[in-house]
Chain A
């Protein structure tokens, strides 16, 4: 087993294990910590794909900003262990797990068939220098996708104003009941 594949399998095991903790832990704080672990592992996966800049942005945006948002809201709520963390109902639970199994099977079949036909012999594209790759990415973002990029900025502004307006309804979080 080469070092590259060993690294991939360690990162994949960390990602899937943390994802399992996210959906199984009954204490939301544990869920958020496991989610941070999953984000960091995904950043490692990006790095193993030679996407260095995306890995850095993943660390800053997800493991930094989004996780801080989640943890702040959790601490604001002061939640204890949930008595009933999962939805009740045996029949509906069975249908939910069955539908997840169906979707998982469809995705697995799609991956299997596409890799058999298209990508089995395709080698990886030649790796370029990290600086060159980041420059290419910047060219794409600021030339080809410039309009989408600006639209994303406008969207973020609208979302920020909307979130503040939404959480100010009825006098803030600590309003008297």
Chain B
């Protein structure tokens, strides 16, 4: 693929590559960070990458269909629910240990 063509014509692969990059960055954040809140933020990044994929496939499918965009709403709902529960868990950890480090999660049982 000539580099000029790739710069001029933005297509499906551009969006998929951006989505893959964003997903990988989010995964890196989930694995490397210790702060529970930053881990939740990285998960939001990964879900956004998935949303970009849905919308891009819906735009570039041979027949125009909006199913991909409908899926984005479900992903957003799940993301909001996950953020609410995760932040409630983070508050529980903070109340006990005055810190939101992921290593305190193991003390929450019982």
Contact = CB atoms under 8 A, between A and B. Distances in A.
Please report whether the interface of chain A is mostly helix, strand, loop or mixed according to DSSP.
helix
A54 B55 contact: yes
B38 A22 contact: yes
A2 to B, nearest CB: 6
Contacts of A137: 66, 69-70
A61 B80 contact: yes
A59 to B, nearest CB: 11
Contacts of A32: 37, 41
Nearest to B47: A62
A173 to B, nearest CB: 6
Contacts of B37: 28, 31-32, 70, 73-74, 77
A69 B83 contact: yes
Interface residues of A, number: 87
A73 B94 CA distance: 10
Please report whether the interface of chain B is mostly helix, strand, loop or mixed according to DSSP.
helix
Contacts of A87: 31-34
Interface string A17-40: 001101100001001100100110
Interface of A: 1-2, 4-5, 8-9, 12, 15-16, 19-20, 22-23, 28, 31-32, 35, 38-39, 42, 45-46, 49-51, 53-54, 57-58, 61-62, 65-66, 69-70, 73-74, 76-77, 79, 82, 84-87, 93, 96-97, 99-100, 103-104, 107-108, 111-112, 114-115, 119, 122, 124-126, 128, 133, 136-137, 140-141, 144-145, 148-149, 152, 155-156, 159-160, 162-164, 166-167, 169-170, 173, 175
B42 A23 contact: yes
Contact of A85 (B7, B24, B25, B33): B33
B66 A133 contact: yes
A58 B55 CA distance: 12
Interface string B5-42: 00111111111111011111111110111110110111
